[in-house]
Amino acid sequence: MLKKSALATAVAGLALCAPATAGNPLFSDIFTADPAALVDNNRVYLYVGHDEAKPEDKDYVLKEWRVYSSCDMKNWKAHGAPLNVQTFAWAKADAWAADITKRNGKYYFYATVEHKDKPGKAIGVAVSDSPTGPFKDARGSAIITNDMTKETDIAWDDIDPAVFTDKNGQAYLYWGNQVLKYVKLKPNMIEFEGPIRTVAVPHFTEASYLHRRGNTYYLSWSRHFPEETVYSTGPSATGPWTYRGLIMEKNANVNTIHHAIVDFNGKSYIFYHNAKLPGGAEFRRSVAVEELHYNADGTIRFVPQTDEGPAGNPAPGCQG
């Protein structure tokens, strides 16, 4: 029999050697989709749609966005659902894909919803003093509505906002389905400045994402359907874009793959969704994450999906 002090040491040792809690998919209690990520104060904040479709449902059932955070990419803390369709009084349904950024100490969350009065999807902006909320509608109206763009007749061509702020402080909103569009944002982040422009990238479906590494800008998106994640690079936030290739190949049992790319604690990561959680399907997806690597020439290495996910990467001061 172990003495009390020896037992305590053994238990402490067990805790140190305990396997990391989370692999992929990251969350097993609910279905999640459309990841957006923000790194702030040594934590990564993850915003996901909550897929509530039943197995027999034939369409998305998304009413709210859930928020999680981690300081080591392995252990995730749940922060509830501080954002939902009702955050926007002018919206009636469909908490589809979103993106978030921080500016001047405030957190701006750009989200796709179905508009009550103007047929089709629209994009709203919510704002908070904290990455975990509470959030409120920053404008009281949509920043983008379906009638502002005329390139396609479909009602869902104004979805999937991606917000990016350049070195000089100029912010951009990219979005779209079938046709990729962008607009410059004013420093207040809730109005646009100048015209809406379109961008021609090969086989664009949706889920554009813009990030920068050094002096290279990376524009990534979902192409084809079933979707795969591909990217171009360019010398500025608006191109010109040179197609570079595949980042992640299509999923086996869901057509979409929506991704987000961030740097956290010295490493780069790509969040995405698949349908690998038991019971998963087209409208019952699950968010996962992998480490993303750059080659010496700045190109992105193909990222295989794994069950393990990335290794633990505790940021300074990380305590769960």
What Å distances lie between residue 299 and 261, 274, 294, CA to CA? 14, 24, 6
Q: Is 91 a binder of ligand FUB (CB under 6 A)?
A: no
Residue among 60, 68, 271, 272 that touches ligand FUB (CB under 6 A): 60
Q: Is 114 a binder of ligand FUB (CB under 6 A)?
A: no
Give 34 or 137: the residue with its C-beta nearer to ligand FUB. 34
Q: Is 37 a binder of ligand FUB (CB under 6 A)?
A: no
Q: Is 112 a binder of ligand FUB (CB under 6 A)?
A: yes
- The beta-carbon contacts of 238-247 under 8 Å, at least 24 apart in sequence, are 238/172, 238/182, 238/197, 238/199, 239/199, 241/199, 241/201, 243/201, 243/202, 244/299, 244/300, 245/299, 245/302, 246/302, 247/220, 247/292, 247/300, 247/302, 247/303
Give every CB contact of residue 139 below 8 A, 6+ residues apart in sequence: 124, 125, 190, 191
Q: How many CB atoms lie within 10 A of CB 319?
A: 7
Q: Is 221 a binder of ligand FUB (CB under 6 A)?
A: no
Q: Is 33 a binder of ligand FUB (CB under 6 A)?
A: yes
Residue among 43, 181, 223, 258 that touches ligand FUB (CB under 6 A): 258
Give 129 or 151: the residue with its C-beta nearer to ligand FUB. 151
Q: How far is the CB of 110 from ligand FUB (least distance, A)?
A: 12
Q: Is 160 a binder of ligand FUB (CB under 6 A)?
A: yes
Active site residues: 34, 206
List the structure tokens of 231. 């990217």
User: Interface residues with ligand FUB (CB under 6 A)?
Assistant: 33-34, 49, 60, 62, 96-97, 112, 159-160, 206-207, 256, 258
